Chain A
C-alpha cells in the first residue's frame, strides 16, 4: 500500500510520517519512506539524524549507465528504507517538476520491484502545482492522510488538498482521515472536529503538544526509537495498527468532499459570509507569521531548536558554502513543525555518522546537450503512420515547429492524397492536431482541453490516435496517460496511444523517435505468420529529399533478388503493413545510427525478429557486399552473380567515360566523418591519386558503427584548417573535397563538396565522377565569388 501525507508547510508531516514509518517498521512491516520536500530532511529521524543524497543530486552526478537503485535507497530504523527526492533552492526552478523527475527515475530504476509492504510519501506543503500533486496520482497513493493543526490556514490547506484529491479521484475513495497535530490552541479540537464532520472524515489520530518530540529530534530519532514507552509513541503505534487495517479493508477510506471557501470560513472562523474576508485572512496570516501570541514563542525559539538537532555549523549553505542554513523539522515548543529552510547539505568532515555516498558521486559530470526534443522525435515517428492522427499536447509553438519540419517531406511524398483531409478543419498538416494549450490550461492543467480534442477527432471517425506531450505539459505534470485511459472507456474501439515524452524532459529527438516507434510497434500483430519473399525496411530518414529516391533504388535492388518490401517502419507506412509486419522474414536497417540500433534491439526482443545489419549500401563496393550478404543470409538459392555482373558492367562502362579526364589527378579529402568510403572508392576507381584524407574533430557520424578505412589510406585525424592550407600548398592537389566548399579557394585549387546525404546503390559514385570530370574544366573561381567583398 502507498500512503501520502499532505498538509500545510511546517505542520509536522515529516515527524508524523517518520514516526508512523518507525511504528510500522517496528511491527515488522517492510517500509519505504519517500521525502518529497526540497529540504530533503523527511527521513532524517529514521536515519539517526543523517541526511542522505537526494534522487536529483544522484541523477545529476551519476551517468545514466551507472545509476542504480542502491545509490538512492538508504536503510534506517528497523530496516525502513529511505529516499529523498530533493529539489531546487527556494525561489528558483520548479520543485514540482523535481518531484516528477525523481518519481520517474525511481520507477525507471525499478523501485516497484523492491518487496515492500507500505510506502509513505511525505509531501511538501500544499498541492501547489501538478508536480506537487504527483504523489496524489492513483499509481502512487492508495491512501492520503491530511495532517493539520487547528489553525485556520492549516485547515484551509487541508481543504485545498481535498480539492486536489477530488480532481484525481476516479471512483474509489482515497482519503484515510485527518491527523491532528495539536498546537495547543484554544478550541483547537472543536475546530478540527467541526471540520472533520463537515468533510465527512474521521480524526484518526490526535497528537498532543509535547516537549519529548523536541528531545527525540535532538537525538535525530523518532519517538518510537527515542521514547518507546511514551504515550505519544503509543499514539503512533495505534495509527500504525489503523494503517494495517486500511491495508486489509479499503472501506476505511473516504471520498474527498472539500468545502467551499465561505463554508470553511463560516465553520472554522464562525463568521458569516458577509464579513470582510480579507480581515480574517489577514489576521490568520499575521498569526501564522508569528505576530500573535500563539506563534511568537515558536518563532523565537526556532533557531534554538535547530541547534538542538544539528549544530548550525554542521550545515553550510549550498550556494556559497559559507552562510549557515537551517535544518530539519523542528519546533521550539516541542511541538511538531517544519521550518521552510533552504536546502542544506552536510559539511564535509563534520558528519558524526557517515552518509552513504551514491555510486559515481564526485565532480558533476558535464552532460552532453540534447539535440532537439523527444516531442519532435515521437511526432516524427507517429506522423509516418498513414491514417493516424497525432494529437500534440502543448502550446501552438510546439505544433508550429514540428509541422514546419515535417511539411516539406510530407508534401514531397504526396501521401496526403491517401489520408484525405475532409472534415478536419482544426488540423493543420493532415495527421497532426494541436491542443493549443493556452495560459489557462498551463495554470489549471490541460487535460480537459486534450480530452475535448481527442473526442472531436474520435467523433469525426478517427480510429487511431497518438498523443504526444510537450515541455510545458510535462512541467505542469499533465498526466496524458490518464486522459487517454478515460477516452478509451468512451471509445472502446479506438486505439489511442499516449507518448508522455514531455518535450525534452525525457530526452532528445532520437529518444523521442524511438519512443514513438515503440508505440507504433504496439500495432504489430504478433500472430501473423511469415510469408516468403518479403522484407521490412527499418529506420529510413524522413527529412531528406533523397529519401524516397533511395527507397526506390533499394526496392529495385531487392527486386533483383526476388524480394518485395512488406513494411517501411517507419516511413509513410499504412496501418495494414504495420499490422502485418511479421509477414516479412527479414528486416533491413536503412542506416546504422544509434536510434536504429536501439529500434533493432527493441523489435528483436519483442517480436523475435531477424535483422540484416548491413545498412543501405552507398557506392559500388558497398552495394556488391550488401547484395552478396543479403542473398547469403536469406539462403534464397538465388545466385546474385549475374545480377552483380550486370551492375559491374554498367559501372565500369560509366567510370571509363570519366576517367580520361580524372586519371592521375591528385585529390585531398577533408571530412567531418569517416563515412566516406564510397567517395574514396570512386576516387580510386577513376585512377585518381588520393594524397590525404583529413578527418576533422567533430561529433558528426560518431554514432555510426563504421568499418575502419583501409590501411593504405593516408589518413590524418583531428585535421585542422591550418593543416589543410599547408597540404594544399605542399601536396598541390587538383581537387579538394570537403563538407562545405570555401567561397574563395586557396591556391587556385578546385574545390567541391561531399554530398551530405548520398544516393544509395551501385551507382552513387557515378554522380561524383561526372561532376568532377566537368568541374576540373571549369574556372576555379566563378565570377560571382568576387562580388562578395567590401566595397573599395
Chain B
C-alpha cells in the first residue's frame, strides 16, 4: 500500500549499486534529498550522519547523490552551467564512474548534457541518462540505465573463464540484496563456480569490465536482467540461465536454478543439490514436530504483494510445500509477462483465481508477505496476523546478520518466520 519506486528511482540506484560509481542528479533538492537518503540506506558507505561532514555546495549534508538543485530559473535558462560546476567538483573528489541523471523536470528542458561532460573533461568516465522515463516501472529504469552504463564502459571481448559466472538483475532496491549475493556465491561455489560481477549490487567497475569473460550469466529477477543478459549474448555470446519459476525462493526453485546452471556449463549439479537435500531434511524434522500437534502450517492463509518473479515462486512454494492458502496475490508494475502468466495459470488451476491480482488489504489472512509499509497498514487494519517484509520500502529494521529469502538460507529463513509468525498469532 505504498507507491512502489518507478524507473527514475531504480535508475539512480542502479548506478549507486556500483562500489566505485556515483550518480550526479541534475534536478531539484526535492528529488535529491530522498534519493541520497535511499542510496545511503540501501548501500551504506559512511559511518556518520553528521550533515556538517558533507557541506559542499551540491551535497546538502548528504554523502550520496549530489545535485544541481535546480529551480525555476534553471528550467527557464537551462541547467548546464550548474551541471558543469557540479561535474568538476565531483570529478576532483574521486575517480568514480559518474552518471548524470536528469530529474523528471530536467528531462523536459532538453539541455545538452553531453556538451557539459565534454566541457568539464569527464566524458571518459561519465555517462548520461537524459530521461529515465515518466511513471515507468522500476525494472525498466534499472535495465535501461544498466545498458547505458555497459555501453559507456565499452567492454572488450575477453577470453572465457569456464568457472566464472555473472549474476544479473539484482538491484540494491531489493530486500536483503547483500545476503542474496552471499547465498548465491555460496551455492555456486558448491558447483565450483566463482561470481565475477553482480549487476548491479556491490560490484566494481573493474568487475564489470571483466564481466565479458564469464562463461554464463545467471538472471535473478528476470524483469531486471533479461535484456541485459540478452545484450551479453549478442555482444559476447555469453549464454544465460533464467529460472522459469522466477527467483530461487523455496527448495524446488533453488534446485531448478542450480540444475539449469549446471546444465548450461556442462557440470555436475550434485554437490549443490546434496546441500539442498540436507537442508530439506533438517527442516523436515522441525516442520514434522510442529505439524504433528498443530496440523499447521497447512491451511493457513497468505497474501503477497511483491514483484511477479518473487510472488510466483513464493506462492507456488507456500501452496505446494506447506499447503498454505493463497488469498490475495498482487504483483508490482513491470513484472515479466511470462511469469505473470504462470502465476495466473497456477492460481486458476488450483481453484484460487480470485486471489490473482487482488490487493492484500481486501483479505484477512494469517500471514502477509509485502513491503514494510504495506505490512504496517495490513497489521493496523487487522488484515494479517503476522507479516514478513520481503521487499522494500522497509519499515526500518536494522539487520546485523546478512539475510536472504533465496536459496537454502532463504528458504530456511522463510520457514522460521512463517512457523513462528503463525505460532505467535495463534
Interface residues of A (CB under 8 A from B): 56, 59-60, 87-89, 91-95, 97-98, 101, 367, 369-373, 375-376, 394-401, 403-405, 407-408, 411, 414, 416-417, 421-422, 425, 427-430, 432, 434, 436-439, 441-442, 470-472, 474-476, 503-506, 508-509, 672, 696, 698, 739-740, 743, 788
Contacts and interface: CB of A to CB of B under 8 A. Distances in A.
Given A407-B2, A411-B373, A88 B77 contact: yes
B426 to A, nearest CB: 24
A375 B3 CA distance: 16
A88 B76 contact: yes
Given A411-B377, A472-B108, A94 B75 contact: yes
A97 B49 CA distance: 37
A444 to B, nearest CB: 12
B424 interface: no
B29 A401 contact: no
B323 interface: no
25 contacts: A56-B76, A88-B77, A93-B109, A95-B76, A101-B76, A367-B73, A369-B71, A370-B30, A371-B33, A373-B30, A396-B3, A396-B6, A397-B31, A400-B5, A400-B6, A404-B373, A408-B373, A428-B3, A429-B1, A438-B134, A439-B134, A508-B29, A698-B52, A740-B48, A740-B49
B30 A369 contact: no
B50 A504 contact: no
Given A394-B104, A740-B50, A87 B29 contact: no
A435 to B, nearest CB: 9
Q: Which 10 A-B pairs have the closest CB atoms?
A: A373-B30, A471-B105, A92-B78, A740-B50, A93-B78, A411-B376, A397-B8, A428-B3, A396-B6, A396-B135
Contacts of B275: none
Given A92-B77, A476-B108, A503-B30, 4 more contacts: A94-B108, A401-B34, A471-B30, A475-B108
B401 interface: no
A441 B2 contact: no
Contacts of A404: 2-3, 34, 373, 393
A97 B72 contact: yes
B348 interface: no
Contacts of B224: none
A25 B265 CA distance: 86
Contacts of A672: 52
B9 A400 contact: yes
Nearest to A405: B34
B2 A395 contact: no
A370 B104 contact: no
Nearest to B109: A94
Contacts of B252: none
A470 B109 contact: no
Nearest to B107: A472
B60 interface: yes
Interface string B95-127: 000000001110011111000000000000000
Name which of B50, B77, B381 has the most chain A CB atoms within 10 A of its CB. B77
A400 B371 CA distance: 14
Given A397-B9, A417-B381, A403 B30 contact: no
A414 B49 CA distance: 29
B359 interface: yes
B58 to A, nearest CB: 9
Contacts of A434: 3
B351 interface: no
Given A101-B72, A369-B69, A503-B30, A788 B47 contact: yes
Contacts of A407: 2, 373, 376, 393
Given A93-B77, A369-B69, A472-B108, A743 B47 contact: yes
Interface in B311-358: none
Contacts of A395: 6, 8, 104, 134-135
Contacts of A414: 380
Nearest to A374: B30
Contacts of B136: 438
Interface in B45-66: 47-50, 52, 60
Interface string B118-148: 0000000000000001111000000000000
A518 to B, nearest CB: 20
Contacts of A429: 1-3, 373
A454 to B, nearest CB: 17
B75 A398 contact: no
B6 A397 contact: yes
Interface string B11-39: 00000000000000000111101100000
A630 to B, nearest CB: 35
A89 B393 CA distance: 42
B133 A509 contact: no
A60 B73 contact: yes
A330 B28 CA distance: 40
Name which of B7, B52, B110, B359 has the most chain A CB atoms within 10 A of its CB. B52
Nearest to A371: B29
B396 to A, nearest CB: 8
A439 B108 CA distance: 10
B381 A401 contact: no
A89 B377 CA distance: 50
B28 A471 contact: yes
B366 interface: no
A442 B109 CA distance: 12
Given A94-B76, A97-B76, A417-B380, A367 B71 contact: yes
Nearest to B1: A428
A411 B380 CA distance: 8
A206 B113 CA distance: 46
Contacts of A397: 6-9, 31, 104, 134-135
Nearest to B359: A425
A322 to B, nearest CB: 18
Contacts of B77: 56, 88-89, 92-93
Nearest to A86: B76
B141 to A, nearest CB: 9
Given A93-B78, A400-B3, A370 B109 contact: no
A505 B76 CA distance: 10
B56 to A, nearest CB: 12
Given A369-B29, A472-B134, A97 B50 contact: no
Contacts of A56: 73, 76-77
A88 B6 contact: no
B45 to A, nearest CB: 13
B107 to A, nearest CB: 8
Contacts of B109: 92-94, 97, 475
Contacts of B307: none
A89 B112 CA distance: 13
Given A437-B134, A503-B105, A93 B75 contact: yes
Nearest to B5: A400
B393 to A, nearest CB: 6
Contacts of B103: 471
B64 to A, nearest CB: 15
Nearest to A38: B76
B386 to A, nearest CB: 17
Contacts of B5: 400
A335 B8 CA distance: 50
B4 interface: yes
Contacts of A506: 72
Contacts of A740: 48-50, 52
